[in-house]
């Protein structure tokens, strides 16, 4: 280092770090996704800074008619990197290693992050053992090969299908950066972590492209929103330590109540699909099923990519799932010998829902397909539904089929609403218009399999317990 630069650094006129070399970080943490008995996807992103820009500028709301572009939402002279919460990406490479019981089981070569995919990288670890705890280490280095930040995490693989093992998981829905309830992110994440769940499911509306500050009307702004959200420490710390499955819904595809072909400003439908795969560890198939031991199998379904327009008249041809996904679900669900079978859907089947809504199976607009799926589930033993999208918690039983549905509610109290607290309908076994999460435990007592669904507050307080024994 030149002596004048060194003297300036000592005097505090310029930072000492970054003078002699470029540094890279992993400010968005890692995401461990799509875990089954033998594999897991690891996601990471290299960043220019160690943490989000907490002192950044605020977005402005354009007074122009129509949806604003990037420049119309930035203060004069500012770039996206100058804005509050900004987490700019950086070039470099990462290496992933994993271990069990203190013994290293595998490691990758150094892999370069993709600048065309927001400096992210995804890697599938294979040949894992069922029902086993693993630790993860993700090392990073800059373009010159200089070592940089290392992130450590952990997860558990799913028990073998024949294994009688207790399983616990948590489910959330409907969150965004603006409606968080802590500067460090949503309080619900540390609350869930205290339960040490085997896995986590986000049912969608993870972020809202069509909400301001900024409106994500193009790829650049959409990426900014994802980077900012997962630059919050509560979220990144949670995902470093819990296996996760992610489902998208309308707001994190393009916009409210969207169907294929509906764009949002310059953000196209295809870009919305590509961005979700870029920002989250997900398998190629948009819908999938995962077995967790002898007593539990879950189905994660896709509710946007194959649907008919909401405006289409109801009938046999109108669909949310599409022909291929529906046939897959009916076949695999019926073939499963898991004690409890749980459909996890981004949208509701039982509800009841608001009369103004028309984009889910609890609404009149999709009655035909909704009846088909509800009747099928009612014909199966120990079948349950968990849904997202509704900003209130409930346990409901369909009056025609008897199928039971659990709504997890919104991720923060700020985000709760859309239903009157005192409006208890005949379907409701439990109702609370508050934020919170759903915790599910499948276990055996005296050899009798039991599924317990517990609704929690954002602080981890128990709101309601619903206990179901296997038939």
User: Domain of 254: which CATH number?
Assistant: 3.60.21.70
Report if residue 213 sits inside a domain: yes
In the block, tokens 């294994």 appear at 163
Q: Are residues 412 and 281 in the same domain?
A: yes
Last residue of a domain, one of 130, 155, 180: 155
Say which CATH number the domain at 35 has: 2.60.40.380
275-294 residue pLDDT tens: 999 999 998 888 999 999 99
pTM: 0.94
Q: What is the arithmetic mean of pLDDT over 436-447?
A: 95
More confident residue, 5 or 421: 421
pLDDT of residue 445: 87
Question: Which residues have CB under 8 Å from 79's CB, separation 6+?
Answer: none
Instruction: Say if residue 20's pLDDT is above 90.
Output: no
Residues 206-256 have pLDDT tens digits of 999 999 999 999 999 999 999 999 999 999 999 999 999 999 999 999 999
Q: What is the pLDDT of residues 302-319, one digit of tens each?
A: 999 999 999 999 999 999
Looking at the structure, tell me whether residues 100 and 135 fall in a common domain. yes
Residue 142 lies in a domain: yes
Mean pLDDT of 154-175: 98
| pLDDT at position 19 | 31
pLDDT of residue 1: 37
233 within domain boundaries: yes
Q: What local confidence, expressed as pLDDT, does residue 9 receive?
A: 37
Q: How confident is the model at residue 93 (pLDDT cuts 50, 70, 90)?
A: very high
pLDDT of residue 22: 61
| Among candidate residues 155, 173, 204, the one where a domain is terminated | 155
Residue 64: per-residue pLDDT = 83
What's the number of domains the chain is made of?
Answer: 2
Over 70: is that where the pLDDT of 345 sits?
yes
pLDDT of residue 12 exceeding 80: no
Residue 186 contacts residue 411 (beta carbons within 8 Å): yes
426 and 301 part of one domain = yes
Q: Residue 351 domain-assigned?
A: yes
Total number of residues shown for the chain: 471
Q: Are residues 257 and 303 in the same domain?
A: yes
**Last residue in a domain, options 155, 172, 201:** 155
Q: pLDDT-based confidence at 262, cuts 50/70/90?
A: very high
Kindly state whether residue 143 falls inside one of the protein's structural domains: yes
Residues 144 and 166 in one domain: no
Three-state SS letters, the chain: CCHHHHHHHHCCCCCCCCCCCCCCECCCCEEEECCCCCCEEEEEECECCCCCCCCCECCCCCCCCCCCCCHHHCCCCCCHHHECCCCCECCCEEEEEEEECCEEEEECCCEECEHHHCCEEEEEECCCCCCCEEEEEEEEECCCCCEEEEEEEEEECCCCCCCCCCEEEEEEECCCCCCCCCCCCCCHHHHHHCCCCCEEEECCCCCCCCCCCCCCCCHHHHHHHHHHHCCCHHHHHHHCCCEEEECCCCCCCCCCCCCCCCCECCECHHHHHHHHHHHCCCCCCCCEEEECCCCEEEEECCCCCCCCCCCCCCCCCCCCCCHHHHHHHHHHHHHCCCCEEEEEECCCCCCCCCCCCCCCCCCHHHHHHHHHHHHHHHCCCCEEEEECCCCCEEEEECCCCCCEEEECCECCHHHCCCCCCCCCCCCEEEEECCCCEEEEEEEEECCEEEEEEEEECCCCCEEEEEEEECC
Is 423 inside a domain boundary? yes
Q: Are residues 95 and 173 in the same domain?
A: no
Q: Give the residue-averaged pLDDT of 355-384.
A: 97
Same domain, 280 and 217: yes
Whole-number percent of the chain with pLDDT over 70: 95
Residues 459 and 315 in one domain: yes
State whether 382 and 313 are in the same domain: yes
> What is the percent of the chain with per-residue pLDDT over 90, rounded to a whole number?
92
Q: Is residue 172 domain-shared with residue 94, that is, in the same domain? A: no
Q: Is residue 96 part of a domain?
A: yes
| Average pLDDT, integer, range 58-87 | 94
Residue ranges making up the domain that contains 198: 159-469
Q: Are residues 313 and 456 in the same domain?
A: yes
Examine the domain organization and report whether 188 and 306 are in the same domain.
yes
pLDDT of residue 15: 34
Q: Is 12 domain-assigned?
A: no
């Amino acid at each position: 280092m030149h002596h004048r630069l060194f003297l300036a650094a000592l005097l505090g006129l310029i930072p000492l770090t970054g003078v002699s070399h470029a540094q890279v970080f992993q400010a968005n943490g890692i995401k461990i996704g799509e875990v089954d008995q033998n594999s897991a996807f690891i996601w990471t992103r290299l960043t220019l800074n160690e943490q989000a820009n907490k002192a950044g500028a605020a977005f402005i709301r354009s007074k122009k008619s129509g949806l604003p572009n990037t420049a119309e939402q930035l203060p004069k002279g500012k770039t996206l990197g100058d804005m509050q919460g900004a987490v700019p990406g950086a070039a470099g490479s990462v290496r992933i290693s994993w271990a069990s019981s203190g013994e290293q089981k595998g490691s990758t070569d150094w892999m370069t992050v993709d600048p065309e995919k927001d400096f992210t990288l995804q890697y599938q670890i294979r040949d894992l053992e069922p029902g086993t705890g693993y630790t993860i280490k993700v090392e990073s280095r800059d373009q010159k090969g200089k070592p940089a930040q290392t992130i450590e995490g952990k997860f558990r693989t799913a028990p073998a299908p024949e294994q009688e093992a207790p399983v616990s998981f948590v489910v959330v829905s409907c969150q965004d950066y603006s409606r968080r309830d802590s500067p460090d992110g949503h309080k619900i994440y540390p609350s869930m972590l205290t339960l040490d769940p085997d896995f986590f499911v986000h049912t969608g509306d993870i972020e809202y492209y069509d909400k301001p500050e900024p409106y994500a009307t193009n790829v650049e702004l959409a990426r900014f929103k994802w980077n900012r959200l997962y630059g919050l420490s509560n979220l990144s710390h949670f995902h470093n330590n819990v296996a996760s499955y992610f489902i998208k819904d309308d707001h994190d595809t393009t916009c409210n109540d969207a169907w294929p072909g509906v764009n949002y400003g310059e953000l196209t439908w295809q870009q919305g699909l590509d961005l979700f795969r870029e920002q989250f560890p997900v398998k190629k198939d948009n819908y999938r099923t995962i077995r967790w031991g002898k007593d539990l199998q879950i189905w994660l379904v896709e509710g946007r990519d194959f649907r008919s327009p909401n405006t289409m008249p109801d009938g046999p041809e109108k669909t949310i799932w599409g022909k291929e996904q529906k046939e897959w679900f009916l076949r695999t669900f019926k073939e499963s010998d898991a004690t409890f079978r749980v459909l996890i859907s981004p949208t509701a089947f039982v509800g009841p829902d608001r009369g103004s809504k028309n984009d889910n199976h609890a609404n009149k607009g999709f009655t035909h397909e909704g009846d088909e799926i509800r009747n099928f589930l009612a014909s199966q033993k120990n079948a349950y539904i968990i849904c997202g999208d509704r900003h209130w918690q409930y346990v409901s039983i369909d009056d025609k089929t008897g199928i039971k549905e659990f709504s997890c509610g919104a991720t923060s109290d700020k985000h709760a609403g859309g239903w009157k607290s005192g409006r208890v309908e005949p379907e409701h076994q439990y109702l609370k218009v508050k934020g919170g999460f759903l915790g599910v435990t499948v276990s055996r007592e005296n050899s009798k399999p039991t599924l317990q669904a517990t609704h929690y507050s954002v602080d981890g307080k128990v709101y309601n317990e619903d206990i179901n024994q296997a038939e």
